[in-house]
Amino acid sequence: MRYAVTALLAVAGLAAAAVALERSQPAWYAKLRYPLSYEHVIVGHAENYELDAALVAAVIYRESKFDADAESSSGAIGLMQLLPSTAEGIALNTGGSRFVVRDLYDPEINVRYGSFYLRRLLRKYDDTRLALAAYNAGQANVDEWLQADEGIAFPETRAYVDDVLELRDVYARAYDEELELGNG
């Protein structure tokens, strides 16, 4: 009986420590839980498109967890989960002439197109939450919500936006130097 109580207290103590660690998220823990890859690509395109590199990293983590070969059931591809039709339009708008779907698996091209698209959405909506909602649910939905004077109507899109904004803060704290944010 005494061993059972001791074991139970040990488990409770470990659980409390895990909860405290999750809440405080020191940089070393955040780096373990939220990895960063392709930082040079992210920083380069964030600078080029005047974006917060931590926001780009957060979108990538939420969309693909940094898996360049990720594919969604809706047909989105790569790190920033771009639909081929969206990417083809971006390619044409950025001077491309020979769009090939398999190029979306290339981190450099995918992050370039995704950053271009995110910048375009931020310019259009002049609001980070709405831009992220459009990135997730599509511009037509966001335009409809704005016209109806509604907030973000889809619960999954509200959760997506909240996740990305929280991840942006995590990436900014944990990867200040790697993302060249100058917060340190």
CATH code at position 155: 1.10.530.10
Using pLDDT thresholds of 50, 70 and 90, give the confidence band for residue 146.
very high
| pLDDT value at residue 25 | 66
Q: Is residue 145 part of a domain?
A: yes
Identify whether residues 95 and 67 lie together within a single domain.
yes
CB-CB contact of 57 with 124 (8 Å): no
**With the C-alpha atoms ordered 124, 125, 128, 130, is the resulting torsion angle positive or negative?**
negative
Are residues 104 and 87 in contact, defined by beta-carbon separation less than 8 angstroms?
yes
Q: Looking at the structure, tell me whether residues 38 and 22 fall in a common domain.
A: no
Split into its structural domains, the chain has a count of 2
Q: Would 11 be classed as within a structural domain?
A: yes
Same-domain status, 2 and 59: no
My answer on whether 80 and 3 are in the same domain is no
The predicted pLDDT at position 94 comes to 84
Q: Which of 157, 178, 181 is nearest to 62 (CA)?
A: 157
Same domain, 9 and 93: no
Does residue 47 sit in the same domain as residue 84?
Answer: yes
2 and 82 belong to one structural domain: no
Based on the domain organization, do 103 and 46 belong to the same domain?
A: yes
The catalytically annotated residue of 39, 47, 63, 71 is: 63
User: Angle, to 10 degrees, between the axis of helix 39-48 and the axis of helix 53-64?
Assistant: 130
pLDDT reported for residue 8 = 62
Domain of residue 8, residue span:
1-26
Active-site residue flag, 63: yes
Residue 124 lies inside a defined structural domain of this protein: yes
Instruction: Answer yes or no: is pLDDT of 37 > 70.
Output: yes
- pLDDT exceeds 70 at position 63: yes
Q: ∠ CA 30-109-41 to the nearest 5 degrees?
A: 40
Convert the pLDDT of each residue in 65-82 to its tens digit.
999 999 999 999 999 999
Domain assignment present for residue 79? The answer is yes
